[in-house]
Structures are given as C-alpha cells and as structure tokens.
Amino acid sequence: MNAEFESIDVPTAEAMWRSGDLVVDVRMAEEYASGHIAGAVHVPLDRIPFLLSTLPPGHVIAVCSMGNRSRRAAETFARLGRTSFSLQGGTKAWEAAGLPIERSPSPGPRVRESWWRRLLR
C-alpha cells in the first residue's frame, strides 16, 4: 500500500518550519548529532510506529541526510494517518541554503556485545 505524501523543496520546508510545523530527523543518532535542522526532533526511521503517539499533532516534515530515508519515513507517517512531507536533498540541502543547523555532542560509540556474553557475566 502506497501512502500519499509530498516531497518539498528547501524554501517550502523553511516556510513550514518557520510556521511551526514539526521537523522529524529520521537518521541514526550519530548522524543526528553531527548536524540537524534547528529544533528537529530525532526519531530513527525504524522507531516511527512506536514513537508516533509521542509527537505533537500537525504536519510532519521528515528529514534525513539527502532525502532517501525521509521519503520512506514520510510514507510511514502518511500510512499511520499523519499529513507528511519529505525534504528533497535533506539536511545537506538545508545547510547549503545557509539555514540553521544544530550540532550535538556525539552519542559515542555503541558497544556491540552479544546477548549470550552478557548472560555469562
């Protein structure tokens, strides 16, 4: 089932962002920390169905690095009943346009340890 969403350019996304529409960055934590649209909420792509109810109501602008994952995210939001948009060119296009980007301290490396090693401790 293909859910309807719209791909939007940077000027349209900026106008929506300035009017208070929700920007959701769907990248991994390390990518989000390295630079995201100012005020964007971080919800990794695979967590959208589980965290949707925690987001405020209204339009959702899905964002990733270049626009590929955000299209999948916008489709997921639409399938789950939200009016959604995907930013063409992602944060790279946003930053290239000179628009506000925030950087966070790196979340640090993830420790990858198998579940059975934890059990043996």
CA 26/CA 55 separation, integer angstroms: 13
CA distances from 89 to 32, 39, 45, 109, 112 (A): 15, 18, 17, 27, 32
CA distances from 41 to 7, 52, 56, 63, 102 (A): 19, 12, 11, 10, 12
Which of the residues 64, 73, 74, 93 is marked catalytic? Answer: 64
DSSP state of 97: T
Residue 38 is among the residues annotated as catalytic for this protein? no
Active site residues: 64
